[in-house]
């Protein structure tokens, strides 16, 4: 059984994230969406709320599990016998950033990173943009999964 992790902060989850997970589940038998923290980021939503948003989004999927974690993603992967990591790429800058992380992870462990290009219609969506829309009373609902409310 092939199991993959899709790690991120999901602050908040967007339809771009959902797109990546739905395409990833066609390749993997199980995906663990791992909600973590990055000490360099200031979050709009606490981790518990972010986990709740992701659980609500994927509540009808038996082969998608949601967990929170602290520390290095590779440590979480080792602890849970995960060999594959899914990452979404929107643009060349994402690739350069993600490539460095993937190579570092592979040097430290045997974890392979699988990149999925975002669908063209979602390529501009980011959690940062959604947070900005929320702060400024913009129509953020176009970019988050249905059923999520703040």
Is 68 catalytic? The answer is no
Q: How far apart are CA 130 and CA 23, in angstroms?
A: 22
Copy the structure tokens of residue 91. Answer: 């643009």
> Exposed e or buried b for every residue in 79-91, given b needs 16+ CB within 10 A?
eeebebbbbbbbe
Domain 3-143 fold: Rossmann fold (3.40.50)
In terms of C-beta density within 10 A (0-12 exposed, 13-18 middle, 19 or more buried), how is residue 37 classed? Answer: middle
41 is catalytic: yes
Task: For residue 12, say if its preceding peptide bond is cis, omega within 30 degrees of 0.
Answer: yes
Q: Order the strands of the 30-35 sheet from edge to edge.
A: 64-68, 30-35, 3-8, 84-89, 112-117
pLDDT in tens, the chain (150 residues): 899 999 999 999 999 999 999 999 999 999 999 999 988 889 999 999 999 999 999 999 999 999 999 999 999 999 999 999 999 999 999 999 999 999 999 999 999 999 999 999 999 999 999 999 999 999 999 999 999 988
Q: Of the candidates 64, 55, 52, 79, which has an alpha carbon nearest to the alpha carbon of residue 4?
A: 64
| The predicted structure's pLDDT at residue 40 | 85
Active site annotation includes 131: no
Q: What residues does each domain of the chain span?
A: 3-143
Catalytic residue from among 2, 41, 79, 135:
41
- Segment holding 52, helix H or strand E: helix 47-57
Tokens of 41: 């980021």
**Residue 70 neighbours by CB under 8 Å, 6+ apart:** 36, 37
146 assigned to active site? no
CA dist 144 to 104, 107, 110, Å? 31, 35, 33
Query: Which member of 47, 49, 78, 90 is catalytic?
Result: 90
């Amino acid at each position: 059984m092939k199991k993959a992790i899709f790690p991120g902060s999901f602050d908040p989850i967007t339809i771009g994230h959902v797109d990546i997970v739905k395409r990833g589940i066609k390749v993997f038998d199980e995906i663990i969406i791992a909600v973590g923290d990055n000490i360099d980021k200031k979050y709009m939503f606490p981790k518990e709320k972010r986990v709740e948003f992701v659980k609500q989004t994927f509540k009808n999927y038996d082969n998608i599990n949601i967990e929170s974690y602290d520390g290095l993603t590779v440590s979480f992967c080792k602890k849970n016998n995960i060999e594959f990591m899914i990452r979404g790429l929107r643009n060349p800058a994402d690739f350069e950033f993600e490539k460095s992380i993937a190579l570092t992870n592979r040097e430290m462990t045997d974890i392979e990173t699988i990149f999925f290009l975002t669908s063209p219609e979602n390529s501009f969506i980011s959690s940062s943009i959604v947070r900005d829309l929320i702060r400024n009373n913009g129509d953020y609902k176009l970019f988050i999964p249905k059923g999520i409310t703040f």
